[in-house]
Amino acid sequence: MTLSVLIGLSAVMVAVDDGAPLVLITRRDTGEDALPFGPFDPEHHVTFDLSLRGWVREQTGFELGYVEQLYTFGDKNRDTPDATLASAPPSARVISVGYLALTPDAAPTGAPFEARWQGWYGYFPWEDHRNGRPAMIDAELAPHLYTWAAGDPQRLERARIAFGLDAARWDEEGVLERYQLLYEAGLVAECARDAGLPQPAVTFGAPLASDHRRILATALSRLRGKLKYRPVIFELLPERFTLSALQRTVEGILGLSLHTQNFRRALDKTGLVAGTGRLETATGGRPAELYEFRRDYVRGIAAPGLATPRRTPD
């Protein structure tokens, strides 16, 4: 039997609205929520990039701006159930190339598209620590994880490190590790679905089609890490912004609350932003100066990312 290999392209399209991180979600014919996704046709598509942009435009009405390749997902049976390519034969091996796309504008898609912006913490509610450690980790997740890890020191250590149990430090970049651990523990809906089993009484976070929540977790991990060493955060901001808006955007992506004075001191040292002399008065509060990202300046240097000093708990 000849094994067919098909290549699909997935887009994690991210925007931030007043500090709330959003991801663009489509609706499949099966009723499942999914990332924008389509097959690569080597006969008609010149490049992966052009193919991806075409699929996103067709499914959502959006034109992609900043895009980077995220990861290639090729695990056997990764596309079960309901193969990610409707035209794929039953024996096909589906390989998905994931992309991370950033936009400063979470504009509505409108008809006839069923795409919509969704808050990404609905898929990973344990990841948002901006108002402190989510109570659900210790009250709901931890008891299930301790039960899953009972008698297995390796499992217990993985759970402790991943979710900051027993006073372990929270690593905001471990999004993918946490999702995969919950999958193994049977605590996300995709686990039972992929095994063809009834849904358990307890699952955490909203599911996505195929392995799209895993792809989304990979994108979150990548973005949280990359903003610390490259100035990608400015792809999520308008041309002019206040420093408070910049900090809220960083906090929204990281799921952490930052120390304002230390954040701004570190930002000054990077030379990444410059004041415009104009003031933002639309908020009705004290006017704040508007800043710009020095895009021309960073083109000629190895531009740094942003320091992310955490605010210490009271």
Summarize pLDDT for 86-132 with one digit per residue, the tens.
555 556 677 888 999 999 988 877 656 788 999 999 999 999 999 99
How far is C-alpha 10 from the geometric centre of its chain's CA atoms? 13
Q: In the predicted model, what is the mean pLDDT of residues 259-282?
A: 92
Please, which pLDDT band fits residue 81 given cuts at 50, 70 and 90?
Answer: very low
- What is residue 314's predicted lDDT score, i.e. its pLDDT? 43
Please, which pLDDT band fits residue 255 given cuts at 50, 70 and 90?
Answer: very high
| Segment 29-55, tens digit of pLDDT | 788 899 998 888 777 778 888 889 888
- What is residue 77's predicted lDDT score, i.e. its pLDDT? 52
| Segment 66-79, tens digit of pLDDT | 999 998 876 655 44
Query: Which domains can be identified in the chain, with CATH numbers?
Result: 5-122 (3.90.79.10), 125-205 (no CATH), 229-299 (1.10.10.10)
Please, which pLDDT band fits residue 2 given cuts at 50, 70 and 90?
Answer: low
Q: What is the Cα–Cα distance from 109 to 57, expressed in whole angstroms?
A: 10
- More confident call, 112 vs 137: 137
Q: What is the Cα–Cα distance from 84 to 36, expressed in whole angstroms?
A: 11
Q: In the predicted model, what is the mean pLDDT of residues 247-264?
A: 97
- What is residue 83's predicted lDDT score, i.e. its pLDDT? 36
Which of 83-87, 105-109, 181-185, 259-263 has the least mean pLDDT?
83-87
Percent of the chain with pLDDT over 90: 63
Percent of the chain with pLDDT over 70: 89
Q: What is the Cα–Cα distance from 76 to 271, expressed in whole angstroms?
A: 46
- What is residue 47's predicted lDDT score, i.e. its pLDDT? 86
| Segment 228-237, tens digit of pLDDT | 999 999 999 9
- What is residue 134's predicted lDDT score, i.e. its pLDDT? 97
pTM score, whole prediction: 0.90
Q: In the predicted model, what is the mean pLDDT of residues 211-232?
A: 95
